[in-house]
Structure 1
Amino acid sequence: MPSTPGPDALPLTGSARTLPKFASIGSPYFGILLAFMAVVLILSNIGASKGVAIGPVITDGGFFLFPLAYILGDVISEVYGFKVARKAIITTFALSVFASLCYWIIIALPGFDDEFGTAKQSALEGALGPVPLIVLASLLAFLAGQTINSWILVKMKARTGEKSLWARIMSSSVAGEFVDTLIFCSIAASVIGINDFAGFVNYVVVGFLYKTLVEFLFVPVTSLVIGYIKKREPSYAA
């Protein structure tokens, strides 16, 4: 049976349009998407503590992971709506903060005082020590960027219904990724060792273009995943 329009079915003025459909959380699919989203973000936060230089390009070690979090956010927003996507964002970051707290405890625990233990402690401090600041950068950036991304996607769906999925994904991605990248890089740049303005601009521009390009290239895959879940969500399928 068709799903009943929920609170994410945004009211429209003007000519009558069919309210957009969204699935309720009642199958395993949302839990799987949420788990992937959390793991991707936690790993990207660890990777982001390392500065990476590929020729003239300046980025961080989480560059290949982070766009996946936005792709998963697109899937959740399109299938389940804005309110569920917002819960996913908050849950993901609660888990990320918990992971950061665990890193702090691990570093603070007394280790072996032999040569190996000292080297291991130094390595942990260098790898995981900056992560809380990276998590703070990600928290502020992802909350703002992903919320904008989700809101635009759902708002456009209210106007287009099931049509023009590619346009919703691409339009929301540009806005969300720009806000996310600017906020994240402003906080994280000094953490990974970028201290000059030219390097900062490089970091922001490369990050924004790269993440947006990845999302654009993955639009066909994202659309297939969205279609797959829509057909199998009992509360969504018509």
Structure 2
Amino acid sequence: MPNEFLWFVLMIVNFIGILVFYRYMGKTGLYIWTAIAAIIANIQVVKTVELFGFVATLGNIVYGTTFLVTDILSENYGKKDARKAVVVGFMSLITMTIMMQIAIVFKPDVSDFSQEALTTIFSFMPRIVIASLTAYWFSQLHDIWAYHLWKNRFPQKKFLWMRNNFSTMVSQFIDSVVFCFIAFWGVFELSVFWSILWTTYIFKWIVAAADTPFLYLAKNMHDKGKINELVSTDK
């Protein structure tokens, strides 16, 4: 199958996954998704692929969904709960990095077949994680701030698309620039580096635009009381 088709399939699977997690686990489900997405994105990002004639890294979709999660939390619960998701993602990355760095130091048995592959992926991980943590922290906090800025100015539901896209598109530009310079500067040739940076942003921008209907669905589920919260929100 062509990469472009798989890319769109992966995007829809991610969006549906978020709605399922949210529908049956509420805010807890969104926090769980954030942890999963943060870890998967930083594994997938070490793989480069060709999409629409450009060199790009995987991980753009699943990482981009973390912005949808914080927008859902901002819209339905407020700034405080959205910031909790940022902390969850941040701590998940740190924990995964520490555990995998210890894991690859273990001397493998003669029967082992995975050490070389794990080393290839996770020996590069510290630089990826430093880049991701830095970009993630600044871009997500900006996204939450910008979302509420637009929400305060245009609180009506019909402007949901505006606060979703206007906040996320700027935040993802910040994320792409910070991440690529820390993670890939000096790793790839300049032509490949700039291709990765701009395609990373463009593909995240597409994800941000495509997730808008799913934000409306999450909003409607919440307003109609269809969210099953694992932890009661009653005082």
Does the TM-score normalized on the shorter chain lie above 0.5? Answer: yes
1:144 Cα deviation after fit: 0.8
Larger Cα-atom Rg: 1
Q: Output the CA distance in 1 between the equivalents of 2:129 and 2:62.
A: 15
Asked if 1:85 is matched to 2:79, the reply is no
Q: Output the CA distance in 2 between the equivalents of 1:215 and 1:61.
A: 16
- Alpha carbons 1:29, 1:229 under 8 Å: kept: no
Q: Output the CA distance in 1 between the equivalents of 2:52 and 2:205.
A: 21
1:38 Cα deviation after fit: 1.1
Secondary structure at the aligned position of 2:50 is classed as strand
1:138 aligned partner? 132
Secondary structure at the aligned position of 1:64 is classed as helix
1:197 aligned partner? 190
Give the structure-2-normalised TM-score. Answer: 0.80
Q: Output the CA distance in 2 between the equivalents of 1:207 and 1:137.
A: 14
Asked if 1:122 is matched to 2:116, the reply is yes
Greater helix percent: which structure?
2
- Alpha carbons 1:30, 1:76 under 8 Å: kept: yes
Give the total of aligned pairs. Answer: 205
2:167 aligned partner? 172
- What percent of counterpart residues are identical? 26
1:54 Cα deviation after fit: 3.8
Q: Output the CA distance in 2 between the equivalents of 1:175 and 1:63.
A: 15
Secondary structure at the aligned position of 2:224 is classed as helix
1:185 aligned partner? 180
Q: How far does the alpha carbon of each residue in 1:72-91 deviate from its partner, in whole angstroms, 9 at most, with x for none? A: 12111211222221121012
1:12 aligned partner? none
Asked if 1:207 is matched to 2:200, the reply is yes
- The answer to which of 174-183 and 126-135 deviates more is 126-135
- Alpha carbons 2:37, 2:62 under 8 Å: kept: yes
Asked if 1:147 is matched to 2:141, the reply is yes
Asked if 1:30 is matched to 2:44, the reply is no
1:228 aligned partner? 221
RMSD after superposition? 2.3
Q: How far does the alpha carbon of each residue in 1:108-149 deviate from its partner, in whole angstroms, 9 at most, with x for none? A: 11211x3x53x5321110022212221111111111111111
Give the structure-1-normalised TM-score. Answer: 0.79
Aligned pair partner of 1:39 in 19, 30, 36: 36
Q: Output the CA distance in 1 between the equivalents of 2:202 and 2:52.
A: 16
Which runs of no fewer than 5 residues in structure 1 stay unpaired? 1-26
Output the amino acid matched with 2:197.
V
Q: Output the CA distance in 1 between the equivalents of 2:104 and 2:185.
A: 21
Which runs of no fewer than 5 residues in structure 2 stay unpaired? 1-23
